[in-house]
Amino acid sequence: MSELLLACVLLSWIVTCQSGPWRPCTDLLPLDLLSRVLPVSGRAQDGIRMVQSRGARGFQFSGSPQLFSFPASQLFINCNFFPAEFSVVVTLKIPQMPPEKSEYIFTLLEGDSEEPLLGLRLSQNKFHFLQKGHGSRKRITFKAVGLDDNRWHTVVLAVTGRYTILTVDCGTPLELVLERSFPDNLDTTGSTFFIASRRRWNGLFSGLMRQLVLLPGSDATSQICPSSEPQLSALSVPQALLHLPIKPSSTDLPLHPYEAEVRVTAGVSPPCGHSEEGQLWFNTLKRGLFLCDGIVWLTMLQVKEKLDYVEDHQDLFTNSETFDIEVFHIPSVGLFMATANRDSNLGSGIYKWTDGRFERYQNISTYDAKAWQYFTVGKKKFLVVANCRSKDAGDQEQSVIYKWSSRKLKFIHYQTLITHSARDWEAFSIQDETFLAVANHRQGERNHNIDSVIYKWNPVAQFFEVNQTIPTTGAYDWEFFTIGPYYFLAVANTFNGRSTVIDSTIYIWLGGMFQTYQSITTFGAIDWEMFQIENRVFLAVANSQMLTEEGKILYSINSTIYELSMTSQTFIKFQEIETNSALDWEYFTVGDDRFLVVANSYDGNSYSLNSVIYRWQGFEGFIPVHRLSTNGCRDWEYFNTTDGSYLIYSSARAALSKVLKLRTI
């Protein structure tokens, strides 16, 4: 693209040169917009301060937007037209934005108008290029840009003809086409640049800005990319931000008067906001030193927690035996848990975490429920249940989606979907679209070789619709995961009607559908668990039983952890672990340590068995560290609250689940 841009610039240069003496309206050098609104070197100024965060410095704006503006005529020296081709480079760091909020990086405003001639705006996960068209304002929106994650990012927006090209951190360029070419006669007479705002307080940029440069006539990408540090790649960064921190000696005056003072507080969780920025907190409880960056306490030094032992926290009596537990958090409401219970007369329960324990919250009618899945679509919150029986004998089996009503503070019926002995739901999103996959286990009494179904949310109809069907054999579990830009979905196939020694399959999303990526022989596979350790990718399978065609049956068999090999691009065996009819794997971390816990359910004689917690020990793989006595263990879930980390397990044999607390040192 940059070659094209360069060609265009050269071409317009030649064309204009031929038709008479031509001079561009501005310098063709990078124009550092940020430097123009900074205080004269070394002098303090209200409303702007320098903040160091994640190893780099930027400016934070809190003062009147007027302070950070300058007339366009400062830049447009030869004539008043905004360049028809240009790029803007911005380096920023901004925390996640709420859905309704938007903030300006800069705007160019005509006279007293509040409609930008041109501007850049950010909103949740989106980047907008604003442009005043003939009579109407045009907005080009780049979606799923992932800029509001409180990390540094460098963005180049290049405009040439009908193309707008966005490059984030020297990654793959995103290109959008304008309805009409960007005008070559955008008049800037009497207009003003506002940095970090649109003249008003509303929409003031709240993050840190390190670089803001306008490059007339060309695409800056070729000048700053590739880069060894693409998040901080620089075309022109204000001098003040480049200084390395210098230790003040007694005779030196502070070099950066607008840097925050250092104050240390002790105590329990002091507030961290604008006014505490730069303040230190010595947390005696967590044994750590934290720095407030204006929003959250960043860890400077901390003794890492280590798992010491596991202790009984709560006996949770459920409506009946529980096959699955789903723990989820509803923002500003609280922590919840849904249990999938066997008994159709008593239904399933929803529990809320209250005063350090789960308490009954709501009952929902279910029919031999096997699993729950919580998910969101935009602001809507849903729970879907896998019902494995019909309401009345002879009726069709249906699974049900419930929606959280923020008025009633309960889940209410939303949509039913026909399923066949449904065992699991998996919700996931691909490029802003939401999908739901059901594992259909069996149709009628015998047929295990049936289709499982992937549904997609229709944002117009506001319902889920079939998107793809996939042939499965006694499907029990779906696991969705992403690796870099790729999306995967793995199915655990349990039984083909004769044997449990069958293939389970991993699919990859290609060309708008899931296609087979790899098949792996499993033994009555019930669960897949994907996890990452640094940049290594693992998939663990829970093998429940080996039933051969000859009718031999074994429960004490190996479950296997596979690792993605970067050379062969396939999952290969990493470690085998002896399990007793394993039904679930759960991965979790405590401090720097990584763990896997397995649900051992049956060894051929007894259901009272130990489930085991394994700790990652690098080259040695996972090593058993804790044995926990369980009864018909079906599911493990990890969760944490402000006062610690917990594990909960359910039993497929008794109406009793247990919450365990992870004690740390």
Ligand X SMILES: *[C@@H]1O[C@H](CO)[C@@H](O)[C@H](O)[C@H]1NC(C)=O
Q: Residues interacting with ligand X, by CB under 6 A?
A: 319, 346, 360, 362-363, 433, 456, 467, 512, 558, 576, 578, 640, 645
Tokens of residue 584, six digits? 């679930």
Name the region of 49 (left: φ>0; alpha: ψ -120 to 50; beta: rest): beta
* Closest distance to ligand X from the beta carbon of 308 (Å): 15
* Closest distance to ligand X from the beta carbon of 578 (Å): 6
Nearer to ligand X, 128 or 360 (CB): 360
Nearer to ligand X, 160 or 318 (CB): 318
Nearer to ligand X, 516 or 640 (CB): 640
619-646 as b/e: b if 16+ CB within 10 A? eeebeeebebebbbbbbbbbbeeeeebb
Nearer to ligand X, 149 or 433 (CB): 433
Nearer to ligand X, 21 or 512 (CB): 512
* Closest distance to ligand X from the beta carbon of 454 (Å): 8
* Closest distance to ligand X from the beta carbon of 264 (Å): 23
User: What contacts 405, CB < 8 A, 6 or more positions away?
Assistant: 411, 412
Nearer to ligand X, 328 or 476 (CB): 328
* Closest distance to ligand X from the beta carbon of 633 (Å): 20
Nearer to ligand X, 477 or 586 (CB): 586
Q: Nearest-CB residue to ligand X?
A: 512
Q: How far is residue 110's CA from residue 207's CA, in Å, rounded to a whole number?
A: 26
* Closest distance to ligand X from the beta carbon of 319 (Å): 5
- In this structure, are residues 313 and 325 in contact, taking their beta carbons and an 8 Å threshold? no
Q: How far is residue 179's CA from residue 73's CA, in Å, rounded to a whole number?
A: 29
Q: Phi then psi for 34, rounded to 5 degrees?
A: -65, -45
* Closest distance to ligand X from the beta carbon of 474 (Å): 22
Position 369: which residue type?
A
User: What contacts 119, CB < 8 A, 6 or more positions away?
Assistant: 104, 105, 106, 107, 108, 129, 130, 198
* C-alpha closest to that of 198 among 137, 133, 126, 124: 137
Helix and strand counts by DSSP (H, E) for the chain: 3, 48
Tokens of residue 20, six digits? 């008479």
Nearer to ligand X, 363 or 521 (CB): 363
* Closest distance to ligand X from the beta carbon of 76 (Å): 45
* Closest distance to ligand X from the beta carbon of 653 (Å): 18
Element housing 6 (H / E): helix 2-18
* Closest distance to ligand X from the beta carbon of 166 (Å): 22
Q: How far is residue 283's CA from residue 615's CA, in Å, rounded to a whole number?
A: 28
Q: How far is residue 24's CA from residue 281's CA, in Å, rounded to a whole number?
A: 54
* Closest distance to ligand X from the beta carbon of 62 (Å): 30
Q: How far is residue 433's CA from residue 427's CA, in Å, rounded to a whole number?
A: 11
Nearer to ligand X, 150 or 558 (CB): 558
Nearer to ligand X, 90 or 662 (CB): 662
Nearer to ligand X, 110 or 637 (CB): 637
Nearer to ligand X, 331 or 512 (CB): 512
Q: What is the DSSP letter of 37?
A: G
Pairing of strands 288-292, 102-110: unpaired
* Closest distance to ligand X from the beta carbon of 423 (Å): 23
Tokens of residue 356, six digits? 């350090």
Q: Phi then psi for 189, rounded to 5 degrees?
A: -55, 130
**Degrees to nearest 5, angle at CA 479 with 476 and 482:** 165
- Dihedral sign for Cα atoms in the order 331, 336, 339, 345: negative
* Closest distance to ligand X from the beta carbon of 363 (Å): 4
Position 192: which residue type?
T
* C-alpha closest to that of 241 among 55, 30, 46, 31: 55
* Closest distance to ligand X from the beta carbon of 329 (Å): 9
Q: How far is residue 342's CA from residue 323's CA, in Å, rounded to a whole number?
A: 7
- In this structure, are residues 405 and 428 in contact, taking their beta carbons and an 8 Å threshold? no
Tokens of residue 326, six digits? 């789903």
**Degrees to nearest 5, angle at CA 524 with 521 and 529:** 75
Nearer to ligand X, 141 or 363 (CB): 363
Nearer to ligand X, 378 or 497 (CB): 378
Q: How far is residue 300's CA from residue 316's CA, in Å, rounded to a whole number?
A: 39
